[in-house]
Homo-oligomer: A and B are copies of this chain.
Amino acid sequence: MLERIRIVLIGTSHPGNIGATARAMHNMGLSDLSLVAPRGEPITADSVSRASGADHLVHAARVVDTLEEAVADCTLTVGASARSRTLPWPMLSPRELGDRLPQELAGPDTRVALVFGREDSGLTNAELQRCHAHVHIPTNPDFSSLNLAAAVQVLAYECRQAWLTAEPAAADEAQAREPADALAPDLALASHAELEHYFAHLERTLVAIGFHDPAKPRQLMARLRRFTLRARPERMELNILRGILSDTEKLAPPHERR
């Protein structure tokens, strides 16, 4: 699914933003980048540096003259817009866009373009009107201008979220390829009986050290139970806690021991 999502940047001024866009795309598993009439050479020291290892996407980017060429084979074209202008258009939130992607990309010949405008002026009305829908990233109304690569990052993140949700098998595989835990926990939760043995040991120890008087309970054991149970203790954790109790008991004055 992700390989059929194309990021289209129109009239980008700063090559650094193209590199940062490539990094954001590659981080989220997108690979198809098209540049429409970039202002200046896209491959510069700055764009390669900001790509930070994803510069192969910049090198592989298709450079074309018009939006039409960039999205000719796309079955859904969505333009990123700071707000709806002139003529209201179907408007999606990033999450709604993500929710639609699995269905939009179900067929093998489908392809989605996400189109981003110029750093200073965004997409023109003519460009916006070539899109099926617009996507608006909700922002602080007092400071709504997102960095270009940051906007790509948010939408690419929603694309990956949609993919992880729609293709759990693929998601599991991707997850499995992330570095494994060095020390997996013994995730065996303590049983009810083990917990009760622990609470009995705890109460016995608190009496022995003189902290607790069962004749004046003041909800003490209830509070310690609530705290402990909230954490859902693992068996190994109870073993540690019981070890502490045993060492504490040994220090208690003999006449207090039971």
Contacts and interface: CB of A to CB of B under 8 A. Distances in A.
Interface of A: 20, 23-24, 26-29, 52-54, 83-88, 94-95, 137-147, 149-150, 153-154, 157, 160-161, 164, 174-175, 177-179, 181-185, 206, 209-211, 219-220, 223-224, 227-228, 230-234, 236-237, 240, 243-244, 247-248, 251-253
The 9 A-B pairs at the shortest CB distance, nearest first, are namely A231-B231, A251-B251, A141-B177, A29-B140, A230-B231, A211-B247, A150-B153, A26-B143, A227-B237
A227 B233 contact: yes
Given A138-B164, A140-B26, A223 B211 contact: no
A178 B230 CA distance: 24
Number of chain copies forming the complex: 2
Contacts of A144: 27, 178
A87 B251 contact: no
B87 A185 contact: yes
A23 B29 CA distance: 25
Contacts of A237: 223, 227
